[in-house]
């Protein structure tokens, strides 16, 4: 399966595609068969600096663009994403390994919707006025924060970029963004579309390794805010650099979410929900329902059915329409996952199903893994505590609601969780009881714009996918006015 890609991509700085002198290129590799798809630049600190200079120079002009015009530009970007949906979806599928049935129906449409949502939100945003008395007004204005630095992960390259680009632009900021070097192509292609709409310098794209261009971005003094999605480890680095510069950072980090199944669950829907929770995107989701808890009364039946369902999942080439699970993002991630499965078994877990790599492509070069369930696990095992980021769930039996809330909260992460029950009281008790930023009830992995998403504890700081994210991309300005002219009352 092929699509038209540039042989080599430049950096996008100040409205132009540039290839710096002496630039070193990296390969974009298809994780499903090892093919080289294209090449992109391993940017340097100088390139990052050039991008920041461009974003800084364009800030005042972009800030001055009226809200209606800015909103219409975001709508235009959304339309362009939609009209290029098939192409963007295929590029994401080739570069990341995720199934085409997901990229065409979820990654790309949700990305477009994100621009539309923030285009709408800024039309309704207002400052406020406090009239202290007849002569005194306090105006509260929300001003753009400045030049923003954004770093994107590889698991939802286009969607996570949209989650950061749309609010930053809507709020009137200019920016420099860096995709993961594992999956740069969809953002490079999105920039071609945004270039048709936005003035030069407003958005700037730096590619390359996190340890080089990513690090340079963190160290650059020109940013007024940082935004990051990725591992908790690098999240700490982002937070430290932001603290050193006294600028804010929003962080969307790792997770080890509990997906909790009560005896009175809607059984068939819940069975699907357990799979959606851990197999969606090959389990490479920050909020994956990787710790499955099942109540004792239904445990044996549910686990038997889940095992059967896992074994029927169609793992295949991601560009084939019937494929339900594609390739892991690369061999490095595949190894991390299989290492964890081995660790779990060494710790005493039972491999109920899966745990094996699959030879799907002709050369058997693809990073494919069978859906995996580990039972007989205990809360102290590494496979229960650490983020595996693959299609691997641990399963634990529980008796009571208080017990399962305590088990679920026994984690350094706090991103999300799921509860499956037909009892509203149970749902609310668990919903309130989980120390996480999101709890799904009788559904999972739904992230529509308008519903805030983000974590507590080591899962991060801030809430994306909601208009409240505008607050993170603005500064409050207070203009305090007296209409008096006499000196009386000045002190």
Q: In angstroms, rounded to a whole number, what is the distance separating the alpha carbons of residues 397 and 61?
A: 59
Answer yes or no whether residue 253 interacts with ligand NDP by CB under 6 A. yes
The CA-CA-CA angle for residues 303, 305, 307, to 5°, reads 65
CB atoms near residue 321 (< 10 Å): 9
Q: In angstroms, rounded to a whole number, what is the distance separating the alpha carbons of residues 130 and 116?
A: 31
Answer yes or no whether residue 156 interacts with ligand LOQW3P2E by CB under 6 A. yes
CB 288, CB 277: distance < 8 Å: yes
- The residue among 163 and 319 lying less far from ligand NDP, judged by its C-beta, is 163
Answer yes or no whether residue 90 interacts with ligand NDP by CB under 6 A. no
Nearby residues of 490 by Cβ (< 8 Å), 6 or more positions away: 484
Answer yes or no whether residue 374 interacts with ligand LOQW3P2E by CB under 6 A. no
- At 203, phi and psi to the nearest 5? -120, 135
CB 178, CB 213: distance < 8 Å: yes
Count of residues interacting with ligand LOQW3P2E (CB under 6 A) = 12
Contact range with ligand NDP by CB under 6 A, out of 62-70, 113-121, 139-147, 226-234: 226-234
H or E stretch covering 141: strand 136-144
Indicate which of ligand LOQW3P2E, ligand NDP, none lies near residue 336 (CB less than 5 to 8 Å, by partner kind).
ligand NDP
Indicate which of ligand NDP, ligand LOQW3P2E, none lies near residue 234 (CB less than 5 to 8 Å, by partner kind).
ligand NDP
Q: Which of 102, 212, 252, 464 is catalytic?
A: 252
Answer yes or no whether residue 251 interacts with ligand LOQW3P2E by CB under 6 A. no
- The residue among 191 and 261 lying less far from ligand NDP, judged by its C-beta, is 191
3 state DSSP class of 255? coil
- Among 63, 209, 307, 435, indicate the residue that binds ligand NDP (CB under 6 A): 209
Angle of helix 299-312 relative to helix 267-279, nearest 10 degrees, comes to 50
- The residue among 105 and 482 lying less far from ligand LOQW3P2E, judged by its C-beta, is 105
Q: Tell me, rounded to whole angstroms, the distance of Cα 153 from its chain centroid.
A: 7
- Among 56, 72, 215, 422, indicate the residue that binds ligand NDP (CB under 6 A): 215
- Among 44, 93, 104, 155, indicate the residue that binds ligand LOQW3P2E (CB under 6 A): 155
- Chain residues in the site for ligand LOQW3P2E (CB under 6 A): 106, 153, 155-156, 160, 229, 252, 285-287, 445, 447
């Amino acid at each position: 399966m092929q699509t038209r890609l540039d042989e080599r991509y430049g950096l996008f700085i100040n409205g132009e595609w540039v290839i710096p002198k002496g630039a070193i290129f990296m390969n974009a590799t298809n994780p499903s068969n090892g093919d080289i798809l294209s090449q992109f630049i391993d940017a340097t600190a100088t390139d990052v600096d050039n991008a920041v200079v461009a974003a800084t120079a364009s800030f005042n002009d972009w800030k001055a663009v009226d809200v209606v015009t800015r909103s219409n530009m975001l709508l235009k970007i959304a339309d362009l994403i939609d009209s290029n949906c098939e192409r963007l979806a295929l590029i994401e599928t080739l570069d990341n390994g995720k199934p085409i049935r997901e990229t065409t129906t979820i990654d790309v449409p949700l990305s477009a919707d994100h621009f539309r949502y923030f285009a709408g939100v800024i039309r309704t945003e207002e400052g406020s006025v406090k009239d202290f008395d007849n002569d005194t007004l306090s105006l509260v204005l929300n001003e753009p924060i400045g030049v923003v630095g954004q770093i994107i992960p590889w698991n939802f390259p286009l969607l996570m970029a949209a989650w950061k680009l749309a609010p930053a632009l809507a709020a009137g900021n200019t920016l420099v963004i860096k995709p993961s070097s594992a999956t740069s192509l969809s953002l490079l292609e999105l920039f071609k579309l945004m270039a048709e709409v936005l003035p030069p310098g407003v958005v700037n794209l730096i590619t390359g390794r996190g340890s080089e261009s990513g690090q340079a971005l963190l160290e650059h003094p020109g940013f007024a805010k940082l935004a990051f999605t990725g591992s908790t480890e690098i999240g700490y680095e982002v937070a430290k650099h932001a603290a050193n510069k006294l600028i804010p950072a929003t962080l969307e980090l790792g997770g080890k979410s509990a997906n909790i199944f009560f005896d009175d669950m809607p059984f068939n829907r819940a069975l699907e929900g357990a799979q959606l929770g851990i197999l969606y995107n090959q389990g490479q989701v920050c909020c994956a329902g990787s710790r499955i808890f099942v109540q004792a009364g239904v445990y044996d039946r549910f686990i038997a059915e889940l095992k059967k369902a896992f074994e029927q999942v169609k793992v295949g080439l991601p560009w084939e329409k019937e494929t339900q699970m594609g390739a892991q993002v690369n061999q490095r991630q595949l190894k991390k996952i299989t290492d964890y499965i081995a660790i779990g078994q060494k710790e005493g877990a039972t491999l109920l199903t899966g745990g094996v790599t699959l030879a799907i492509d002709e050369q058997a070069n693809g990073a494919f893994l069978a859906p995996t369930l580990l039972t007989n696990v205990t809360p102290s095992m590494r496979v229960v505590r650490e983020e595996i980021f693959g299609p691997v769930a641990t399963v634990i039996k529980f008796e009571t609601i208080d017990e399962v809330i305590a088990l679920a909260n026994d984690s350094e992460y706090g991103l999300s969780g799921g509860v499956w029950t037909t009892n509203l009281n149970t749902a609310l008790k668990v919903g309130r009881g989980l120390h996480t930023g999101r709890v799904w009830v009788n559904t999972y992995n739904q992230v529509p714009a308008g519903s805030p998403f983000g974590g507590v504890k080591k899962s991060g700081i801030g809430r994306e996918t909601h208009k409240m994210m505008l607050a993170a991309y603005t500064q409050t300005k207070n203009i305090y006015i007296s209409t008096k002219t006499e000196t009386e009352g000045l002190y």
